Amino acid sequence: MPKGDTLGEFEYLVLLAIVRLRDNAYGMRVRQEIADRTGRDTSIGAVYATLDRLESKRLIAGTISAPTPERGGRAKRSFEITRAGLAALNRTRRDFASMLEGLVFPPQGAPR
Amino acid sequence: MNPGRVSQFLLFAFVGAAEAEFVAGDLAEEFASLANRRGPRVARRWYFRQVVRSILPLLTVRLRSGEFTRALLAAAGAVIPLAILDRLWSFVYSQIPLKESLHRDPALLAMNVGLLVVSAWLAGLRVRTRPEAVSSAVLAAALTALVLCAGPAPAPVLYVALAIPAAPVGCLTACCWRRSG
């Protein structure tokens, strides 16, 4: 499998957030979705860097909307998942499920 | 309500112009909601922390976009003619025996500086954005200093003092001229 087809952990979270947010997936919402669900306080820069990487891998596609007053007159960039992105997401989910199969938590022999 | 001038300056200084627009919009949205819920002081602190933590990841985006490569190419394009002339002079200088009293003709040095301004101006026409022009101007000044100070023949101080700012001035004026046109 080419290296670009695999997802890093944060890339996986960002893709899942985009799928959850549907039409409302943009930097700030993705950051909030990850923070609400995982408790991670990520920076907006880290989210944008990951979005840029996912876009260059063609796993998501971005569209620019018109500036609005509540954004200080600045434009917004929304994202949606592509077919390749969905395939990558499913593959990663399968990989995780396969690795977790049969494991009992906490694992036997783990330090207490 | 303003999230703070320092934070906004940092955001636009370090982050690529295109990305900064979207990031600033997102931050403004969240800043307004946070200021309503928890007050402007907490919101400003949050904004500043977000900007500081975002600089490094967003710089990597800027690097990936090829902006620095374009800026470096523009700077190199500005300085290469001067480097060739300077190497040529160094070669001539090295061929002359008894050269203690030999000085470069001021007219020749002035021509070098003029050529640098012209080549920097032409290179500046190729840059696309203002941050790219600033990056190429800084790089051009650094490359000029390197070219003038690394040669075997010592360069006159006035010549160095005029040549180092000449390259960034050429780059930036070309960029301003193009944007105003």
Q: Within an 8 Å CB–CB cutoff, is residue B152 touching chain A?
A: no
Tens-place pLDDT, residues B125-137: 877 777 778 888 8
Of A28, A56, A74, the CB nearest to B21: A74
The answer as to whether A101 is a domain residue is: no
pLDDT band at A47 (very low <50, low <70, confident <90, very high): very high
Structure tokens at A39: 């408790």
Structure tokens at A14: 């960002």
**Which residue shows structure tokens 């996986």?**
A12
Cα A78 to the center of its chain, rounded Å: 13
Total domains in the fold of chain A: 1
ipTM: 0.84
DSSP bridge pairs for A78: A26, A63
- The parent domain of residue A60 ranges over 3-96
The answer as to whether A39 is a domain residue is: yes
Tens-place pLDDT, residues A53-74: 999 999 999 999 888 887 888 8
Which range (A93-102, B45-54, B78-87) has the least confidence? B78-87
pLDDT band at B99 (very low <50, low <70, confident <90, very high): low
The answer as to whether A110 is a domain residue is: no
The answer as to whether A31 is a domain residue is: yes
Q: Which of A24, A48, A64 to mutate to test the interface with B (most CBs of B within 10 A)?
A: A48
DSSP bridge pairs for A79: A62
Q: What is the CA radius of gyration of chain A?
A: 16
Q: Which of A28, A65, A68, A79 to mutate to test the interface with B (most CBs of B within 10 A)?
A: A28
pLDDT tops 90 at residue B170: no
CA distance A81 to A22: 9
- The H-or-E segment that residue A60 falls in is strand A60-68
**Which residue shows structure tokens 């700012």?**
B165
Q: Which residue of B lies nearest to A31 if distances are taken between CA atoms? A: B26
Phi, psi of B160 (to 5 degrees): -65, -45
- Whether the Cβ atoms of residue A30 and residue A14 lie closer than 8 Å to each other: yes
- The SS3 call for residue A62 is strand
Domain containing A41 — which CATH number?
Answer: 1.10.10.10
Residue A93 vs residue B104, higher pLDDT: A93
Of A84, A22, A91, which Cα lies nearest the Cα of A59? A84
- The SS3 call for residue B74 is helix
The answer as to whether A107 is a domain residue is: no
- Residue B23: list chain A partners with CB under 8 A: 27, 44-45, 48
Phi, psi of A65 (to 5 degrees): -110, 170
pLDDT band at A11 (very low <50, low <70, confident <90, very high): very high
- The SS3 call for residue A68 is strand
CA distance B171 to B126: 9
pLDDT tops 60 at residue B101: no
